[in-house]
Structure 1
Amino acid sequence: MPARIEWTDSHSDSSDTSSTSNAHTSQARWHSESRAPVPRRVVVADDTTDAATAHRLACEGTALLWRGDFHGARQLLAAIARRVDRKALAPAPARTPAESFHLHRRARGHRARVLGMLLVLLEEKRGEGEYGEAEYGLALRRAPDVRAACRAAYGPPDGPVAVSLRELLGVLGAHEWRLKGVPVPALGGARIHPHYGVFSPVRGEYVDLVARAPLPVAVRLGAARPRTAFDIGTGTGVLAAVLARRGLDRVVATDINPRAVTCARENLQLLGFGGQVEVVSGSLFPGPEGGAALVVCNPPWLPGRPTSAVEQGVYDSGGAMLSGFLSGLAERLEPGGEGWLVLSDLAEHLQLRTRAQLLADIGAAGLRVVGRLDTVPRHPRAADTGDPLHAARAAEVTSLWRLAPA
């Protein structure tokens, strides 16, 4: 049974301020993309709720269901965030990079939990017309139209559902990115349209590596038969599209995230590669049999447990995806084929993994390094000296490791 939250709406008679006879209890389904637990207690908040009270309640684990003006809710969320940030402890200079990373992530987790306590209620509305389908509604003053964004993220409505305002703002922002798209120079400026919950290819340097790496012998000399590539963990489908554009006859792309499978299929159809690329659901290699001339994998770059669907593109719990790719690669490569591992060394700078460990894992999998291409990050955070992890980000290098059977 879906988890639910419960709260009390009080509508007192104005002639008797102590009256609570009109109070009634309401319920709604609880939904959290970050897998946050159901709040232990929920109170109603509105434009009269001050930031100090809201911050205190949120820190205590009490959620606030907003009933006021939408823009007032955004202002309150920003005010709570400022209070959380002021109370955050600055990392001590003597801490190791690994300690700084774990403390930074813990602080961000606390921040997300507190900000996630400001809730809104998405109601189910009947669409226009006699047979209009159910739609999402947000019954707040000056509320934006959430229908398309919420349907894209959550599917059809199924009764009232409570979500954090922070999550809803993410849903709305992601929908704008989906409509606008992200231009990809390696695709001739064509746009990739990321869906909610799918990691966006805004960091284009890793895409450029796949676009310019020399193709393996099995691809260059394999014209007598279809040249096949696998794209492991395809996400938006951007790397599968680059491989198709580079002339691979057939690309099989996999992803464990259902949203990513749908997203990749839509993008590849829009780009005209729908007949060239097959997108299937799976955690690593497609099917039990069959090999490829080229296998590409851009696993999450940091070992750690993801706390949301989007974080699955950043954190690889226990290094499982990286380990699985390396251990299964040699037997899936055709003669003369290569595996391309696209990986940042940020984990090395944060002391979460060593270069020696990575090379040992490559060797233990029966693989050898036949080449490597490097690039440096171009995203703004690499130049942000106020970032607690600035030293590691500034030194980061992203590499495409060309691997072949030993």
Structure 2
Amino acid sequence: MSVSVPLVRWTENAPLSARWHSESGFPPPRRLIVADDRIRAATAHRLLAEGTALLWRGDYHGARQLLAALSRRIDRKAPQQAPSAAETFHRGRRFRAHRARVLGRLLVLLEPDHSLALRRAPDVRSACTDAYGPPSGPTLVPLRELLGVLGAHQWREKGVPVPALADARIHPHYGVFAPVRGEYVELVAEAPLPTVSPGCGTAFDLGDSGTDAGALPAGRTGLPCGTAFDLGTGTGVLAAVLARRGVRRVIAADLSPRARDCARDNLGRLGLADRVTVTGPELYPPGRAELVVCNPPWLPGRPASALDQGVYDPGGAMLHAFLAGLPTHLEPGGEGWLILSDLAEHLGLRTRAELLGAIEEAGLKVLARTDTRPRHPRATDPGDPLHAARAAEVTSLWRLAVR
């Protein structure tokens, strides 16, 4: 069944039309006028705020300068800190959504081959093909999103070094969350793997997305896990860590086709394609495992873009699905590892009692917990409106078992 692609029509010496594409899900503009370097930032801001899209026909660097000037104008009206962290968070999200909508109306036209016919424009064809797929005619895209595509292409080319993989590089694709916050990867790399009876064993890792508080239960003997499942694999980084730790077989799954392609690419680069199978889009595959690892998005909320899906989990759906499915997917004596930031608790979006209640309701118990502090720059930025919550944030690996 073919999917209808929205078309935008406008007049520019003659009637023209182009496909519409927005990674943020913005609707096609109802009103569009052509603009170039002669337009003033104040005029552009007024038109964009009123809902009129501007198709840029001037200098490429002039478009970037206009976008920066518009960003500064909008940021002058950023919300002040609210009495509570939760309200500050919600105000900030509403403001960022408004900001993205306004800036998302400054458009550029990709030619039928994905090139950009603007003065001093870079060659964007490879980056656009990676993000959007093969070209299929002229396409209108928000300039702000195109700049994100170009930035993501550089990440993909250079890769992100991962200390837990002996500084081997993971290459994130556009729309796939990059493992730049390495603390959750280190938790998985350092936690003691469950041991199983000789000749059996499956480990499941759900999600790409301290001090050990306990040791293996007394009497646990056998061999390390033989097979791993990685669900919500993203870039495949946790699947790679499990494979490098000696898990003989990993099956990695993800809802997103982009993530699955990304994981295959990375696992192939690391020489692990013969030990890791990538599948999807189910959360849990059939069968049981000795180990299930899940790093769900840590903030309850609706994602505004594909990349946001690595951060926002509507209603905590993935978290609760992981917990609910764990008892029927663990082998007797197996463990589930939940890697979760407590930022939502500090923001008033979820309580620790709610988390523990969900674990108990699923028929699970906590064996131990390992904590670590985030090291990203925002955790130490006193100018961030959410600084107090970010400074108190802890990322934990919860070792769970069936009661």
The TM-score, its normalising length taken from structure 1, stands at: 0.91
Q: Distance in 1 between matches of 2:394 and 2:48?
A: 39
* Residue 135 (structure 2) aligned to one of 138, 157, 171: 157
In the alignment, what sits opposite 2:80?
90
CA-to-partner distance for each residue in 1:27-77, whole Å, 9 max, x for gaps?
A: 111100010111121110101011001111111111100000000000000
In the alignment, what sits opposite 1:334?
331
Residues 1:71 and 2:31 are matched in the alignment: no
Alignment of 1:98-113 (within 5 A): 98-113=86-101
Q: Which amino acid letter does the alignment assign opposite residue 5 of structure 2?
A: P
Q: CA deviation at 1:244?
A: 0.4
Are the equivalent residues in 2 in contact too, given 1:227–1:292 (CA < 8 A)? no
* Residue 300 (structure 1) aligned to one of 297, 302, 320: 297
**Are the structure 2 counterparts of residues 169 and 7 from structure 1 closer, same or farther at C-alpha, using a change threshold of 3 Å?**
same
Are the equivalent residues in 1 in contact too, given 2:33–2:52 (CA < 8 A)? yes
- Report % sequence identity: 70
Residues 1:363 and 2:360 are matched in the alignment: yes
In the alignment, what sits opposite 1:247?
246
CA-to-partner distance for each residue in 1:271-322, whole Å, 9 max, x for gaps?
A: 0111111110124112xx3111111111000000111110110000111100
Q: CA deviation at 1:222?
A: 4.8
- Unaligned runs of at least 5 residues, structure 2: 202-219
Q: Distance in 2 between matches of 1:222 and 1:121?
A: 61
Q: How many residues align?
A: 378
Q: CA deviation at 1:91?
A: 2.4
Q: Distance in 2 between matches of 1:368 and 1:230?
A: 21
Alignment of 1:1-400 (within 5 A): 1-9=4-12, 23-92=13-82, 95-124=83-112, 135-218=113-196, 221-223=221-223, 227-286=226-285, 289-400=286-397
Question: Counterpart of 1:137 in 2: which secondary structure?
Answer: coil
Q: Which amino acid letter does the alignment assign opposite residue 91 of structure 2?
A: L
Are the equivalent residues in 1 in contact too, given 2:293–2:337 (CA < 8 A)? yes
- Unaligned runs of at least 5 residues, structure 1: 10-22, 125-134
Q: Distance in 1 between matches of 2:349 and 2:227?
A: 34
Q: Distance in 2 between matches of 1:122 and 1:57?
A: 22
**Worse overlay, 71-80 or 227-236:** 227-236
Are the equivalent residues in 1 in contact too, given 2:239–2:252 (CA < 8 A)? yes
Q: Which has the larger radius of gyration?
A: 1
Are the equivalent residues in 2 in contact too, given 1:229–1:250 (CA < 8 A)? yes
The TM-score, its normalising length taken from structure 2, stands at: 0.92
- Show structure 1 runs of 4+ deviating over 3 A: 219-224
Q: Distance in 2 between matches of 1:370 and 1:249?
A: 25
Are the equivalent residues in 2 in contact too, given 1:295–1:333 (CA < 8 A)? yes
Q: Distance in 1 between matches of 2:116 and 2:266?
A: 30
Q: Which amino acid letter does the alignment assign opposite residue 85 of structure 1?
A: D
Question: Counterpart of 2:76 in 1: which secondary structure?
Answer: helix
Are the equivalent residues in 2 in contact too, given 1:5–1:28 (CA < 8 A)? yes
Q: Which amino acid letter does the alignment assign opposite residue 140 of structure 1?
A: L
**Are the structure 2 counterparts of residues 283 and 50 from structure 1 closer, same or farther at C-alpha, using a change threshold of 3 Å?**
farther
Q: Which amino acid letter does the alignment assign opposite residue 173 of structure 2?
A: H
Q: Distance in 1 between matches of 2:41 and 2:309?
A: 33
Q: Distance in 1 between matches of 2:79 and 2:163?
A: 40
RMSD, aligned CA: 1.2
Are the equivalent residues in 1 in contact too, given 2:195–2:223 (CA < 8 A)? no
Q: Distance in 1 between matches of 2:194 and 2:342?
A: 24
In the alignment, what sits opposite 1:132?
none
